[in-house]
Amino acid sequence: MSIPRIAIDGVTKYYGQTLVLDEVSLDVAPHEVVCLIGASGSGKSTLLRCINRLVDFDHGEIRLDGISVEDAQFGHTGLQKRIGIVFQSYNLFPHMSVLDNITLAPRKVHKIAREAAEARARELLGLFGMAEHALSYPEQLSGGQQQRVAIMRSLATRPEVLLLDEVTAALDPELIGEVLRIIRQLKDEGMTMVIVTHEMGFARDVADSVCFLEGGRILERGDPKTMFAAPQNERTEKFLQRIIEAGRL
Amino acid sequence: MSAMPAAPEGTPPDGAAARRPLPPRPRNEWRAAVRPAIISLVSIVIVFGGLALWITSSAQWPRVQLQFFNLDAMIAAFPRVLQGFWVSMRIWLTALLCIGLWALVLAVVRSLRSPWFTPFRLMVVVYIDIFRGIPVLLLVLLFGFGIPALNLPGLPNSGLFWGSVAMVLSYSAYVAEIYRSGIDAVHEGQWAAAKSLGLSEWQTMIYAVLPQALRNVLPALMNIVVALQKDVALLSVIGVRDAVREAQIYTAQTFNYSSLVVAAGLFLLATIPMARLADYVTRKDRERRLQRAG
Ligand SMILES: Nc1ncnc2c1ncn2[C@@H]1O[C@H](COP(=O)(O)OP(=O)(O)OP(=O)(O)O)[C@@H](O)[C@H]1O
Ligand SMILES: [Mg+2]
C-alpha cells in the first residue's frame, strides 16, 4: 500500500485546559475526498487547522507524504504552499482587488514574478467563470463569488491538498450551488480534500469517506452511502437523525 | 384595516395590473426652498445685529476695541505675526510627519505577536505610559530648556529642535494608541488567512493588516492633526519665535493686545478648514461602513 497523502496519527489538542482533539487518527489517500461531520464544537475546524499548522497540537503527529508537518524541511512557507485552506467567512483582503488577493502569496511569499502570478490567477478566474471580475473588490461581489475567489486564492500556489471549512455555511441557499460545483470540479481533477460540511447531500455525493466527530474523537468512518443509510455507532445515528429532522439530508 | 387608497373605477378587486400609484402632491418648489432661507436670514440679522448693538453700545466697548481690535496696531503687528505663524505651520508639518511615522513604528512593535518581540513590546508599553502621563507643556519645558543647557556634543542645541522633539514624543504616544486600536479592529480571520497563505507576521502586518487599520483610524487621526496645529503654540514658552511669541513681543512693546487677536485669527484660518476636512473624512468613513454593513 502506498503512503497516505495525509496521515494524522494520535493527535491530541488542548485549548488551555479544554481537550478539543482526543488522539485523532485519520489517513487520507492521494486524490481522496474526506468529509468531516459532527455537531458544533466537536473539533472539526481545529482538526483542519492542525493539518496546515494554523494551530499547534500537543501530542501525536501529522505527516504530509510521510514527512511530519513539523519537520524543518517545510520551513515557514513550504507547508502552506502545498496545503490550501478555505474558511467559512472567506477572509478575503477587503482592500485588494480579486487579482491582488490571488497573487499576493505567490508574489510576496513564493517570489514568483508578477506576470507569471497574474497569468496563473487569470487562468483560475477563467476556469471558475469569473474572468470579468479580476479587478473587482471583494465588497462588490456576492457571497458565492467571494467564496470562489477565496478558493482560487488557496489554489494559486497549486497545492496538493485543500482543506475546506464549512465553505457554504455563510451563503444564501441560491449561491451554495456555484461553490459546490467548483469543489466537485476540483475532485474530478484529482485534488485531495478534507471538507468540513453540514451539507449532507453534498457529502454523500462528493466524499469518498465520511468521518463523524464528537467530543474531539472520530467515532465512525465509512463510505457515505453506507454510513448515512445504516450508521454503526448510535451517536452517529442520533446526529444523523437530528440532521434529517432539520431537513438537511 | 389599513388605509388603502380606493381602487379606481373598473379595476378588478385584486387589481395589481391596472393600479396606478398616486401622483406626488403638487408643491410650489420655489416657495418651499426660499421661504426658510429668508426666515433664517431675517432671524440672523435680528439676533446678531442686536448682539452687536448691545456690545458696542456698552460703556466699556471703546476700551475693549482699543486694546483688542485696534486696526492700526493690527496692521503694524501683522507682518511679524504672519512670519511667526509661518514658523508655526512649518513646525506643525514637520512634527506631523515625524509623529505619523514614529507612532506607526511604536504601534506595529506593540502589535506583533511573536515572543521574540516581547522586550520591545514592553519598552513600547512603558514609553506610552510615560509620555501619555506627562503634560505636553512640561515636556516642552524639560526638553526645550533642559537639553540645550546640557550642551551635549554632536547634538543640535536649539530650543526649537528639542521643543519639537518633546511634542513628537508626546503626541506619538497618543497616536500609537490610535493606530493600535485600528490594528486590533482588523478581524482575526485576516490573520488566519494570511498565515495560511504562508505570509510571515511582518508581511501580514504590511500587506493585510496595516492598510485596513489606517483606513479605520483616519477620522481619529484627522482630529489629532487639528489638535497639533494649535498645540505647536506651546513652543512659544521656550522662546521659539512662532506666531504667539511674535504677538507677545509686540504686546510687550506697546501694551496693546491686538497682535494676539491677529495671531488667533491666523490660527482660526488654518484650523477651521482642517476641522471641516476632518468632519468630511469622518462622514465618508461612516458612509463606507454603513455601505459595507448593508
Ligand atoms: N481559539 C480558541 N480558544 C479556545 N477554545 C477554542 C478556540 N477555538 C475553538 N475552541 C474550542 O474548541 C472546541 C472545538 O472547536 P471547533 O471550532 O474545532 O469546533 P467545530 O467542530 O468546528 O464547531 P463548529 O461546527 O461550530 O464550527 C470548542 O469547544 C471551542 O469552544
Ligand atoms: Mg468549525
Query: Which domains are assigned to chain B?
Result: 77-293 (1.10.3720.10)
Name the grid cell of B251: 504686546
User: Which amino acid, residue B285?
Assistant: D
If you take atom 13 of ligand 1, which residue's CA is the nearest one? A41
Using an 8 Å CB-CB cutoff, list chain B residues near A93.
Answer: 190, 193, 207-208, 212
Torsion sign, CA atoms A88, A93, A97, A100: negative
Residue among A18, A51, A89 to mutate when testing ligand 1 (max atoms within 8 A of CB): A18
Compute the distance between CA of residue A9 and CA of residue A6 in angstroms, rounded to an integer.
10
> ipTM of the predicted structure?
0.92
pLDDT of residue B28: 74
Residue A166 with chain B: CB contacts under 8 Å: none
Q: Which residues hold their Cβ within 5 A of ligand 2, which is an ion?
A: A 45
Provide the pLDDT for residue B16. 56
Atom of ligand 1 nearest to the CA of A36: 21
With an 8 Å Cβ cutoff, are B207 and A110 in contact?
A: no
| A24 close to ligand 1 (CB < 6 Angstrom) | no
Q: What is the share, in percent, of chain B residues with pLDDT greater than 70?
A: 93
Of B189, B192, B199, the CB nearest to A105: B199
Of the candidates B140, B148, B130, the residue with the CA atom closest to the CA atom of residue B167? B140
For chain B, give the number of residues.
294
Euclidean distance between the first and final Cα of chain B, in Å? Answer: 32
CB of A215 sitting under 6 A from ligand 1: no
The CB of A36 under 6 Å from ligand 1? The reply is: no
| Alpha-carbon distance values, A50 to A32, A218, B133 (Å) | 19, 15, 44
pLDDT of res. B287: 85
φ, ψ of residue A30 to 5 degrees: the values are -55, 140
Q: Is the CB of A168 under 6 A from ligand 1?
A: no
CA of A75: which chain B residue's CA is closest? B198
- Spatial strand order of the sheet with A217-222 comes to A83-86, A161-165, A192-196, A33-38, A209-214, A217-222
Q: Mutation test of the interface with chain B: which of A104, A137, A140, A141, choosing the one with the most B Cβ atoms within 10 A? A: A104
Say whether B198 and A81 touch across the interface (CB within 8 A). Answer: yes
> Which one has a higher pLDDT value, A78 or B291?
A78
C-alpha cell at A102: 490571488
Residues near B213 by beta carbon (within 8 Å), at least 6 away in sequence: B179, B182, B183, B185, B186
HSE-CB at A35 with a 13 A cutoff on CA atoms is 27
| Mode of pairing for the β-strands spanning A33-38 and A209-214 | parallel
pLDDT band at B3 (very low <50, low <70, confident <90, very high): very low
- Angstrom distance (rounded) from CA B225 to CA A42: 50
Intra-chain end-to-end CA distance of chain A, in Å: 34
pLDDT in the model for residue B15: 53
Q: In the sheet that A67-68 helps form, which strands lie side by side, from edge to edge?
A: A18-28, A6-15, A59-64, A67-68
Query: In the structure, what pLDDT confidence band is assigned to residue A2 with cuts at 50, 70 and 90?
Result: confident
Residues B230, B91: contact at Cβ < 8 Å? no
pLDDT of residue A55: 93
Backbone dihedral angles phi then psi of residue A157, each to the nearest 5 degrees: -95, 15
Among A81-85, A101-105, B91-95, B250-254, the least confident range: B250-254
- Burial label, A220 (beta-carbon count in 10 A; 0-12, 13-18, 19+): buried
Phi first, then psi: what are they for A110, rounded to 5°?
-100, 5
**pLDDT, tens digit, 9 for 90 and up, residues B26-72:** 777 777 788 888 999 999 999 999 999 998 888 888 888 888 888 88
Most confident of A131-140, A172-181, A238-247: A131-140
Model confidence at B9, in pLDDT bands (50, 70, 90)? Answer: low
**Residue B227 Cα to ligand 1 middle (Å):** 45
All structural domains of chain A: 6-92+160-245 (3.40.50.300)
Q: Give the angle A199-A202-A203 at the CA atoms, nearest 5°.
A: 85
**Of all protein residues, whose CA lies closest to atom 28 belonging to ligand 1?**
A41
User: Given the C-alpha cell 543647557, which residue does it identify?
Assistant: B149
* CB A104 within 8 Å of CB A93: yes
The pLDDT value given to residue B151: 84
User: Closest ligand 1 atom to the C-alpha of A39?
Assistant: 25
Q: What is the mean pLDDT of residues B241-260?
A: 89
**Considering only CB atoms, which chain B residues are within 8 Å of A87?**
189, 192-193
Strands (E), chain A: 6-15, 18-28, 33-38, 59-64, 67-68, 83-86, 161-165, 192-196, 209-214, 217-222
Contact B146, B157 (CB under 8 A): no
Please tell me the number of Cα atoms within 13 Å of B25 on its side-chain side: 1
Grid cell of A190 as nine digits? 484529482
Give me the pLDDT at residue B67, please: 85
pLDDT, mean over chain A:
92
Nearest to residue A192, comparing CAs of A165, A167, A160, A223? A160
HEC per residue, chain B = CCCCCCCCCCCCCCCCCCCCCCCCCCCCHHHHHHHHHHHHHHHHHHHHHHHHHHHHCCCCHHHHHHHHCCHHHHHHHHHHHHHHHHHHHHHHHHHHHHHHHHHHHHHHHHHCCCHHHHHHHHHHHHHHHHHHHCCHHHHHHHHHHHHHHHCCCCCCCCHHHHHHHHHHHHHHHHHHHHHHHHHHHCCHHHHHHHHHCCCCHHHHHHHHHHHHHHHHHHHHHHHHHHHHHHHHHHHHHHCCCCHHHHHHHHHHHHCCCHHHHHHHHHHHHHHHHHHHHHHHHHHHHHHHHHHHHC
Calpha distance B126→B120 (Å, rounded): 10
A109 to B193: CB separation less than 8 angstroms, yes or no: no
The pLDDT of residue A41 is above 70: yes
Q: In chain A, what residues touch B189 (CB-CB under 8 Å)?
A: 87, 89, 91
Is the distance from the beta carbon of residue A216 to the nearest atom of ligand 1 less than 6 Å? no
- A138 within 8 A of A94, measured Cβ to Cβ: yes
Kindly give the interhelix angle for B118-133 and B159-185, rounded to the nearest 10 degrees: 120
Higher pLDDT, B14 or B112: B112
All three cell numbers of A13, joined, read 489538542
Length of chain A: 249
* Shortest Cα distance, chain B CAs vs residue A28, angstroms: 20
Cβ of B190 and A109 within 8 Å? no
- Confidence tier at B74 by pLDDT (50, 70, 90): confident
